[in-house]
Each structure stands twice: as structure tokens, then as C-alpha cells.
Amino acid sequence: MTVWLKQIATNERGDRRSPTADSSRPPNAVPNSPVRWTPSSLPYRPGYEAQLPRGGRRWIFFDQRERLPVLVITQDERGHEVEYYCYDRLQYPVKLDDDDFNPDKLWAKPKTPAPKAASGSTLPRPEILHL
């Protein structure tokens, strides 16, 4: 998303090397979706982005009610899909604090050891199939 915002800022400064939004016909991304989406399209010139060496197009679909980007589709110059990101189950407002972004707390080892099997117990042997 930040790449797209940088591209908009670049265009507002008058630099026309980056993609500019246009009104091309969008792909039929989710034909039976109950969500109303507004598409925006960015054509990419050859060589602008590494994954699109011959150019292409990125579609960004915004949820009309929430005004958030919910779907991103990138196509190469032949219209073949290169990226597809769909964001669902959005939750907000969410109360987050620094601990929610602290990897030491997010992926800390458990303080209590996992329970061990009772002594003398055996696990059943897996069945071996002979073909």
C-alpha cells in the first residue's frame, strides 16, 4: 500500500515515470461478491518494477463502505495474473499497544513445560501398508 501512496505523491510532484491511475476496465475479480468495490488502475511502464519487466497493470479495489483497499491484482503486459492479494476479516478499531508488535513477547517460549506422557506408556505403532 505504501508503494502505491508513494507513486501518487511522485505523480503529484510532476514526475511521470511512475504509474498513473487510469479508468481501464477492471478484471472480474470476485463476480458474486456482496461487497461493492471501486476499482482503481495503475499501468506500469516496462522496467519500472522488477516483476513486470515488460510493463503491466495493478488494480486496487476499495470497499465503498469502509473506503479501504481490499483487493490488489497485478497483471503482466499480456494480462496474466502476477499478484493477487485479498484482504478480508478486517477488524477495526482495534486497541493495540507496543506489546502487540514486540516479537519477544509474541513468540516467547512457554513458561511451563508441556506435560509428558506417563512413564511406561507406549504409543501405538503405525500401521504399515504393503502395496
Structural domain spans, the chain: 2-24+36-102
As a whole number, mean pLDDT of residues 97-102 equals: 91
Quickly count: other Cβ atoms within 10 Å of residue 41's Cβ.
Answer: 19
Give the tens place of pLDDT for each residue, 36-95: 777 888 899 999 988 899 999 999 988 888 788 888 999 999 999 999 998 888 787 889
Phi-psi region of 16 (alpha: psi -120 to 50; beta: other; left: phi over 0): alpha
Q: What integer pLDDT is reported at residue 68 of this predicted model?
A: 84
CA distance 43 to 56: 6
Residues in a beta bridge with 103: none
Cβ atoms of residues 27 and 80 within 8 Å: no
